[in-house]
A and B are shown apart, each in its own frame.
Chain A
Amino acid sequence: MSLDYLLDAANWSLTNPEGFPQRILEHLGYTALALLIAAVIAFPIGLLIGHTGRGALLAINLGNAGRALPTLGVLMLALAVVGIGLVPVTIALVVLAIPPILATTYAGIRSVADETVDAARGVGMTEPQIAWRVEVPIALPIIVGGLRNATLQVISTATIAAYAGLGGLGRYLFDGLATLEYDQVVAGAIVIAALAVVVDLALAGTQRLLVSPGVGARSAGNRPTTVHPEPNPEPAG
């Protein structure tokens, strides 16, 4: 296993349009765009379902079905329907990112203790205020956990952008395979894996900063009024 390609300084030049810095930026760009769209779609729906308790079954089943969809197939379908470009790639990545965000937003909101919500209602907060100022802050550790999970999946999968003719770190994998330059493939794979680990660590740090100090990861999971004999069938991971 040769690391020549990875360690070649020319491939790390900032001005090289096919160098690692440029490809990493492209890769993060596709990832951020897809996550933003997925969050804008999934977060309000998860919040609404979690707050009202209506449509929960639908959300869980949709989430599970979405998890079973192979992203490569969704990409091909989108390519066949929309044509080549950024749009089909983004569609495929958004479809990938919605289930974890939706499921954890819902699970997070449901995990808020009933007494807490009742108390908020008792002091005269309106329903939107309860959702936004009470439920979301308490559920934040779980919601950010879902966002982390979605980010990880999208970063891993954004390699398929290269298969659809775009850039990103997948370029090294597919170009290397096509030209049988295995050290290019190895370099691409190592950089993608490293990027995923670094971004995950950065998000773990952000998670700590965002969450109110009064809300431990522990207290959000406590829901003393309803004790389920079975664990939540929709795991956060």
Chain B
Amino acid sequence: MSEVWSYLVTNGDDVLTALVQHIWLALLPVAIAFVLALPLGALVHRYGPVRHVALTAGSVIYTVPSLALLLLLPGLLGTSVLDPINVVIALTLYSLALLVRTTADGLDAVDPTVLQAASAMGYRPVRRWFTVQLPLAMPVILTGLRVATVANVSMVSVAALIGIGGLGQLFTRGFQLGFYLPPIVIGLVLSVALAVVADLLIVAVQRRLTPWARAGAR
């Protein structure tokens, strides 16, 4: 334990840099995928043929191992192997594959009579989508967002194997120092803590966005 402390004292800056980089690399893709998944999920929800194509494409993407994708992207895009953009693109693809499906599922789950009621009250389609349909679909969408976020936080570590930053660097550091435990333990604890904090934040947002779910649960 004291070794962990002394490692933190001497390498605090490195650990902090790795943590900040990890947050960026894990959360930026989720944010991008979330924004893209709303219109794509709406398309999938609305048009049957699109659903089959999109969901099949999504499950194929999900099947491709992350390390393989990280190493294939440079060849496909012409980027450098060490470019963090590969990580961002790879994780955006995974998050998108998951979020398009949950967005469509969430929209499917909205009771059509509620939408008819909204139309009858004079809501035009665009306003109805944003103020009635989307909020009602939010619980399912945010459940998907939680899964994608936690998965991304643990997946970013893999990038360290090919020399890109994040908390995974602490693992490879421990490896290079002859299986020196302190950086490995610090990396594991920070990685899990980050996933838990991100998850709790989304739950907090969800409670704010869907107050009726709390009322209904009692």
Q: Give residues in A with beta carbon < 8 Å to B.
A: 1, 64-65, 67-77, 79-80, 152, 155-157, 159-160, 163, 170, 173-174, 177, 182, 185-186, 188-190, 192-193, 196-197, 200, 229-231, 233, 235, 237
Query: Between A and B, how many residue pairs show CB distances below 8 Å?
Result: 143
Whether a CB of chain A sits under 8 angstroms from the CB of B175 is yes
Interface string of B155-184 (1 = CB under 8 A from A): 111101110000110110011000111001
Q: How many chain-B residues does the 8 Å CB contact rule pick out? A: 56
Taking a contact as CB atoms under 8 Å apart, the answer to whether A68 and B154 are in contact is yes
| Beyond A189-B71, A200-B63, 12 extra complex contacts between A and B, CB < 8 Å | A64-B199, A67-B154, A70-B191, A73-B188, A75-B171, A76-B179, A80-B180, A155-B65, A186-B71, A193-B68, A196-B65, A231-B140
Taking a contact as CB atoms under 8 Å apart, the answer to whether B143 and A68 are in contact is no
Asked whether A70 and B162 contact (CB < 8 A) given A80-B180, A192-B68, the answer is no
**Could you tell me the distance in whole angstroms from the C-beta of B191 to the nearest C-beta in chain A?**
5
**Could you tell me the distance in whole angstroms from the C-beta of A61 to the nearest C-beta in chain B?**
10
> Within residues 120 to 166 of chain B, which ones have a CB less than 8 A from any CB in chain A?
139-140, 143-144, 147, 150-151, 153-158, 160-162
**Could you tell me the distance in whole angstroms from the C-beta of A221 to the nearest C-beta in chain B?**
13
Set of chain A residues within 8 Å of B101, measured between Cβ atoms:
237
Taking a contact as CB atoms under 8 Å apart, the answer to whether B71 and A185 are in contact is yes
Taking a contact as CB atoms under 8 Å apart, the answer to whether B65 and A159 are in contact is yes
Whether a CB of chain A sits under 8 angstroms from the CB of B53 is no
Whether a CB of chain A sits under 8 angstroms from the CB of B100 is no
Taking a contact as CB atoms under 8 Å apart, the answer to whether B75 and A1 are in contact is yes
Taking a contact as CB atoms under 8 Å apart, the answer to whether B188 and A74 are in contact is yes
| Interchain CB contact (< 8 A) of A157 among B60, B65, B181 | B65
Asked whether A193 and B63 contact (CB < 8 A) given A72-B171, A76-B171, A233-B143, the answer is yes
Whether a CB of chain A sits under 8 angstroms from the CB of B36 is no
The 10 closest A-B pairs by CB, nearest first: A156-B65, A68-B195, A1-B75, A70-B157, A189-B68, A80-B179, A73-B188, A70-B154, A76-B184, A76-B171
Asked whether A73 and B75 contact (CB < 8 A) given A79-B175, A156-B65, A177-B162, the answer is no
Q: Is the interface of B mostly helix, strand, loop or mixed?
A: helix
Set of chain A residues within 8 Å of B195, measured between Cβ atoms:
67-68
**Could you tell me the distance in whole angstroms from the C-beta of A3 to the nearest C-beta in chain B?**
10
Set of chain B residues within 8 Å of A185, measured between Cβ atoms:
71
Q: For the complex, what is the distance from the CA of A192 to the CA of B153, rounded to whole Å?
A: 22
Whether a CB of chain A sits under 8 angstroms from the CB of B109 is yes
**Could you tell me the distance in whole angstroms from the C-beta of B119 to the nearest C-beta in chain A?**
23
**Could you tell me the distance in whole angstroms from the C-beta of A232 to the nearest C-beta in chain B?**
8
Interface string of B5-32 (1 = CB under 8 A from A): 0000000000000000000000000000
Taking a contact as CB atoms under 8 Å apart, the answer to whether A190 and B109 are in contact is no
**Could you tell me the distance in whole angstroms from the C-beta of A28 to the nearest C-beta in chain B?**
14
